[in-house]
């Protein structure tokens, strides 16, 4: 039996859809979050429902052999995992955003900037690679409020349609990375459960073809 971790939240529904097309049924109890750990009806898979940012940890420790999570999470957590498949759905862009008014052109000129984000490590790396000193403020939610409240000049956040940004009077200053749903596999499980892992990947690949 292969233990597969799934991300709660925005990716859950499209993930379950995708798995269904691959002939893998995620039990209703998982979908409704009534249970966080449940086998499928065939007994081939066991699903584990976890917070997106925790998912790489479960897979890295081998508690789950594989998982499906956004690339944004992988860029932030930088786990030591195999990433064999890009499933293509859940497309989002990680952007640096701020209030409008001419900043778009010259955000590089700010001497020290404060950035609010759910992605402190990506943000830190981004500013340091540009040679810009930045104060990174970690928030676990409602990041888009920060510029209007004066907490930070800019935010680094994941954007799907851009509506939330517009509603808060923010504009995209720079697109930093693209994110889609990725399959991750534990390095040991890849070999120890080789046949099961390959079968899982084969089913998913078939949907992509």
Partner 1 sequence: MIPQGVQCYFGEEVNRRRKVESILAAIMKNWGFDEIILPFFDYVESFSYGLGSELGDKAYRFLDKDGSLLALRPDLTTLVGKTVATRMRGQPLPIQLFYSGEVFRQERAGAGKQKESYQIGLELMGVGEPHADIEILLVAIDCLLHLGVKEFKIALGHVGFFNGIVQQLNLSEEKAGALRDAIDHKDTAWLKSQVEDLQLSDDKKRFLIDVPNLAGGREILELALGIVENPRSRQALLDLRKTAEVLNALGLSDFLTFDLAEVRGLDYYTGIVFKIYGHSLGFEMGGGGRYDGLLGRFGWDLPAVGFSFTLDRILPLLADVTGLQVPLHEAEPHEIATSSGDLTGFFRQAWELRQQGLRVRLGGV
Quote the least distance from Cβ 80 to partner 1, whole Å.
7
Closest CA to 181 of 2, 7, 46: 7
Measured from the CB atom, is 90 or 147 closer to partner 1? 90
Which residues share a beta bridge with 172? Answer: 97
Element (H, E) at 96: strand 92-99
> CA torsion, points 47, 48, 53, 54, in degrees to nearest 10?
-140
Binds partner 1 by CB under 8 A, chosen from 33, 42, 148, 194: 194
Strands 154-159 and 82-86: unpaired
Residue 22 interacts with partner 1 (CB under 8 A)?
no
Q: Considering only residues 57-116, where is the footprint of partner 1 by CB under 8 A?
A: 57, 59-63, 79-86
End-to-end alpha carbon distance in the chain: 26
CA–CA dist 183, 158 (Å, integer): 19
CA–CA dist 136, 7 (Å, integer): 26
Binds partner 1 by CB under 8 A, chosen from 133, 187, 199, 206: 187
Residue 198 interacts with partner 1 (CB under 8 A)?
yes
Binds partner 1 by CB under 8 A, chosen from 190, 196, 203, 207: 190
Residue 192 interacts with partner 1 (CB under 8 A)?
yes
Quote the least distance from Cβ 9 to partner 1, whole Å.
22
Quote the least distance from Cβ 12 to partner 1, whole Å.
22
CA–CA dist 117, 128 (Å, integer): 15
Residue 15 interacts with partner 1 (CB under 8 A)?
no
Q: Tokens in use for 166?
A: 């517009």
Residue 182 interacts with partner 1 (CB under 8 A)?
yes
Quote the least distance from Cβ 186 to partner 1, whole Å.
5
* Interface positions with partner 1 (CB under 8 A): 57, 59-63, 79-86, 182, 185-192, 194, 198
């Amino acid at each position: 039996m292969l233990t597969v971790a799934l991300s709660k939240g925005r990716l859950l529904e499209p993930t379950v859809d995708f798995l269904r097309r691959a002939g893998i049924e995620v039990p209703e109890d998982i979908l409704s979050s009534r249970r966080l750990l449940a086998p499928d009806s065939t007994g081939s898979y066991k699903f584990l429902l976890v917070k997106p940012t925790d998912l790489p940890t479960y897979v890295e420790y081998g508690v789950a052999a594989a998982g499906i999570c956004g690339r944004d999470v992988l860029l932030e957590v930088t786990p030591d995992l195999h990433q064999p498949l890009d499933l293509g759905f859940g497309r989002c862009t990680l952007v640096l955003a701020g209030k409008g008014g001419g900043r778009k052109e010259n955000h590089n000129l700010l001497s020290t900037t404060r950035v609010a984000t759910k992605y402190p490590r990506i943000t830190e790396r981004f500013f340091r690679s540009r040679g810009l000193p930045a104060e990174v403020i970690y928030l676990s939610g409602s990041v888009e409020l920060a510029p209007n409240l004066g907490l930070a000049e800019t935010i680094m956040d994941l954007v799907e349609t851009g509506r939330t940004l517009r509603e808060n009077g923010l504009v995209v200053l720079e697109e930093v990375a693209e994110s889609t749903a990725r399959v991750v596999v534990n390095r040991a499980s890849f070999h120890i459960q080789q046949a099961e892992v390959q079968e899982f990947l084969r089913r998913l690949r078939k949907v992509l073809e």
